[in-house]
Amino acid sequence: MTALTLHITHLQLLPLLSGVQRVSLDELERLDSKTRKVLICQSRGPLTEGAEASGAAVIVAPDLVREINPIRDMKALWYLWKCFRREKFDVVHTHSSKTGVIGRLAARWAGVPCIVHTVHGFAFPAATSTLQRKIFHAMEWIGARCSHRVVCLHEDDARICRDELGLSDERIEIMANGIDLQKFHPLSLEADRHALREGAGLPADRKLVMMVGRLWEQKNPACLVEAYCQLWESGDPGADLVLVGDGALKKSLEVRVKLAGLEPHVHFLGWRTDTPELLRLCDVFVLPSRWEGMPLAILEAMGCGLPVIVSDIPGNRHLVHHAENGLLFPVENTESLASSLVELLDNANLRIRLGAAGRAKVEAEHDIQQRVRNMEALYRDVLNINN
């Protein structure tokens, strides 16, 4: 390693382009041009395509899996250890819970001089049984001890690192997520909204409520669909629902919409690469997650000047202050979400005020350019200590 050149790899599980993966891609795209960049992932997909377009090499580790599988987990550990020894990375930066533990173990055994893990929300507080919580906690405890730094997106996760994982303040870094403020921006002219909607095949004469995210249990899209169906119990709310993303719950959501007879008014768009344009053409953004780290989806919606309604959970509430730059509702409470939707859909002035406050917050605190510079400084700080 020279004073100017770093050899860095990000380790991700899935090759999707949802929030966790976007954090890696945002950094790979903006690292110093002299940096040698590598992405390691379970398989190929949109994330690896984006990484290669940024100039990064891609290594596929097919035995990385989400579920606990002792045989495949040991294979993945061995594969990563050999990879880290061969490539001689200066920095291994891991993401996700179980993949992060395996990656940090392999990196520590391979003698990598800078091992960084970003916490995108801890799994063990949301465990469904005492045994599951103990297993998840033990994994995070082990992973933490293999890390030179653990990056937390907000103080709540930093507190868990200190109080439950026993990490010292010197090994914890709080660094909020960021977005590209030039890419995620409000509409220049309100008249453009109708043209954007026609181009996207969405109705120009109705308000649009949008969620962007993976259709699975964590993001809790069923809560939003149920709240939207409840709106119709009092008559047509004058708004359609747009779901951007895909996942295991898509079929069950489609069944619920069909039973309610609302198929013409609920639009399943799947994964899209034109998220900024889609956000700008809608009126309200909703994210009803059960748990989060610090969702890029909320930051991106706020960056586009949208009023947001989000579940009142750690991660979300660090971004949204109720009635100041968005609305919070109790997690899983479809009635409260439905009421919040009515409040925003019926009040254009409130939508404008909350949207403007959200944009001001991301401009002040969540610029991706500054975040990447801060991350590079963290890498160099660790390397200067360990070399």
The rounded distance, in Å, linking the Cα atoms of 6 and 89 is: 8
- The predicted structure's pLDDT at residue 1: 44
| pLDDT tens digits for range 203-231 | 999 999 999 999 999 999 999 999 999 99
Bridge partners, 172 (sequence order): 150
Distance CA 176, CA 188 (A): 27
Q: Identify whether the C-beta of residue 212 lies closer than 8 Å to the C-beta of residue 275.
A: yes
Q: What is the pLDDT of residue 126?
A: 65
**What is the reported pLDDT for 2?**
44
Contacts of 267 (CB under 8 A, 6+ apart): 202, 240, 241, 242, 243
Looking at residue 195, its pLDDT comes to: 84
The closest alpha carbon to 40, from 109, 104, 92, 75, belongs to 92
pLDDT of residue 263: 98
| Under 8 Å between Cβ of 280 and 259 | no
CATH numbers and ranges of domains, the chain: 7-178+367-386 (3.40.50.2000), 192-365 (3.40.50.2000)
List of the chain residues with pLDDT < 50:
1-2
308-311: strand order across its sheet: 266-270, 239-244, 207-212, 284-287, 308-311, 327-329
Q: What is the pLDDT of residue 136?
A: 87
Bin 245: left if φ > 0, else alpha if -120 < ψ < 50, else beta: left
